């Protein structure tokens, strides 16, 4: 990487360079920490000789910020969520939902148990029929 001298940075600070050369030096400042350090040293060195801002330039106009509507604040969203939760709790909605879920769970468990016991019964019956056929064939 090509580094620039203190004199070049001093000329940059005092606005003694052409626009093309200034652009090259500015682009270099974004990528080189060593040159940025040299630039800041030169800026501190000549800071007393730099022109001061006029009274008008010093009066900075504050940026007006638009006030957000109340419904866009996160506290509003949390309050609405808490109110809905409280409403559902007091109305018994969660209790009925739990009852509904347990009914569904019980019915699926019963269906599963019936299916397993039915399969065992069918296999046992087919085994007995097989034994019975063999016994008839022997006679």
| Domain shared by 41 and 78, yes or no | no
Statement to judge: residues 33 and 82 lie in one domain: no
On whether both 76 and 121 belong to a single domain, the answer is: yes
Which of 10-14, 85-89, 108-112 bottoms out in mean pLDDT, i.e. has the lowest? 108-112
Tell whether 56 is covered by a domain: no
Question: Tell me, what's the pLDDT at 76?
Answer: 93
Q: What's the rounded Cα separation, in Å, for the pair 31 and 2?
A: 11
Say if residue 44 is in the same domain as residue 82: no
Q: Is residue 115 part of a domain?
A: yes
In a domain, 42, yes or no: yes
Residue 25 domain boundaries: 6-50
Find all residues with CB under 8 Å of 9, minimum gap 6, and list them.
25, 35, 38, 39, 42
Q: What is the pTM of this model?
A: 0.38
Number of domains in the chain: 2
pLDDT value for 112: 59
Residue 111 has pLDDT above 60, yes or no: no
Whether 98 and 44 map to the same domain: the answer is no
Give the pLDDT score at 128: 87
Residues 36, 74 within the same domain: no
pLDDT digits (tens, 9 = 90+) for 27-79: 888 888 898 888 888 888 887 777 776 766 667 666 667 788 888 889 999 99
Instruction: Confirm whether 13 is domain-assigned.
Output: yes
Same-domain check for residues 78 and 43: no
DSSP string, 5-72: -HHHHHHHHTT-S-HHHHHHHHHHHHH-HHHHHHHHHHHHHTTTTSPPPPHHHHSPPPPP-PPPPGGG
Residue 81: closest CA among 89, 97, 68 = 89
Question: How far apart, in whole angstroms, are the C-alpha atoms of residue 5 and residue 34?
Answer: 11
């Amino acid at each position: 990487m090509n580094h620039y001298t203190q004199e070049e940075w001093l000329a940059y600070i005092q606005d003694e360079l052409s626009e093309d050369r200034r652009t090259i030096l500015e682009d270099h400042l974004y990528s080189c920490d060593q040159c940025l350090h040299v630039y800041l040293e030169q800026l501190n060195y000549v800071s007393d000789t730099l022109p001061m801002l006029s009274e008008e330039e010093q009066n900075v106009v504050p940026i007006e910020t638009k006030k957000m509507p109340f419904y866009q604040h996160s506290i509003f969203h949390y309050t609405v969520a808490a109110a809905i939760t409280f409403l559902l709790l007091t109305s018994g909605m969660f209790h009925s939902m739990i009852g509904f879920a347990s009914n569904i769970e019980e019915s699926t468990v019963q269906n599963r148990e019936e299916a397993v016991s039915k399969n065992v019964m069918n296999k046992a019956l087919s085994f007995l029929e097989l034994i019975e056929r063999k016994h008839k064939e022997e006679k």
